[in-house]
Amino acid sequence: MIKCCSLYSGSSGNAIFVGNDDTKILIDAGVSGKRIEQGLNSIGVSLTEIDAIMVSHEHSDHICSVGYLSKKYDIPVYASELTWNGMEDQSAKIAPDNRITFRPDCWFEIGNLDVLPFRIPHDASEPCGFSVFGNNKKVTVATDIGHMTNYLIKNMESSDLLLIESNHDIEMLKCGRYPWHLKKRILGDNGHLCNEVAAKTIAHLVKSGMKRFLLGHLSTENNFPELALQTVTNALGEIGVRTGEEIFLEVAPRNTNSKVLELI
């Protein structure tokens, strides 16, 4: 059985646990070490059991405690070369042996899990999403997505669980109080994914047979969990699919952990 749990999700900090009995991975460490510890403990995992931290990109909401945790618990950190270059403050705290570089689209192994990192369009050095394979299951995590591409959909396909960004409602963002330059950044090709595109993507993936989805990295300012869920539910309704028994769909909470999803 492979388990996945979003510990924190959003611009205030991200951390996701994926693991099985033998191998335990943290994807991003974008809240304090203390909060990561609390989040893991609440699902019965200790930081001393973590085998690796994988970094999606160098924005602070994804990396702020990476260096501290690696140093304190001697945890190897996996990032792409350009991401390493973009987070020198963190890498300075990490022992050279614990700095491991992956290349997007190239498989690597952590314990008994296989990982395929893939590129994401976003305004960072070399942002990546991850598909983690273990126990005959595939878990994919992809947030901070400027726009959807066929390449991204290919990487998401046939996942047993997908955590996908559903950042904002376009109308809320446009009418909201963010300054114009920030609105332009979020709406741009390298910004964040809106509810509508997340919904369309999920509907496409459901048609291909996928069943479990977590919506993540929701904006506090330009979204509501209910609105994100409703937008996806509507898109699924249009293709004659109901959420609930058939399809698992929930929002990954901002300040606490999601349900622990056990994929058997």
Binding residues for Zn ion (CB under 5 A):
59, 61, 144
Q: Which is nearer to Zn ion, 13 or 33 (CB)?
A: 13
Count the helices and strands in the chain (H runs, E runs).
10, 14
Smallest gap, in angstroms, from Cβ of residue 245 to Zn ion?
A: 32
* Phi, then psi, of 127 in degrees rounded to 5: -65, 140
Smallest gap, in angstroms, from Cβ of residue 10 to Zn ion?
A: 8
SS (H, E, C) 183-213: HHHHHCCCCCCEHHHHHHHHHHHHHCCCCEE
Q: Residue 182 carries which side chain, given as an amino acid letter?
A: L
Q: Which is nearer to Zn ion, 35 or 137 (CB)?
A: 35
* Phi, then psi, of 72 in degrees rounded to 5: -65, -40
Rounded alpha-carbon distances, angstroms, from residue 137 to 25, 100, 131, 211: 15, 24, 10, 13
Q: Which is nearer to Zn ion, 33 or 191 (CB)?
A: 191
Smallest gap, in angstroms, from Cβ of residue 14 to Zn ion?
A: 6
Q: Which is nearer to Zn ion, 182 or 247 (CB)?
A: 182
Smallest gap, in angstroms, from Cβ of residue 192 to Zn ion?
A: 8
Smallest gap, in angstroms, from Cβ of residue 61 to Zn ion?
A: 4
CA gap 160, 240 in Å, rounded: 21
Q: Which is nearer to Zn ion, 55 or 236 (CB)?
A: 55
Q: Which is nearer to Zn ion, 126 or 144 (CB)?
A: 144
Centroid of chain to Cα 72: 24
- Of the candidates 208, 126, 196, 127, which has an alpha carbon nearest to the alpha carbon of residue 162? 208
Nearest residue to Zn ion on Cβ basis: 59
Smallest gap, in angstroms, from Cβ of residue 206 to Zn ion?
A: 25
Rounding to the nearest 10 degrees, give the CA dihedral for residues 53, 84, 90, 72. 30
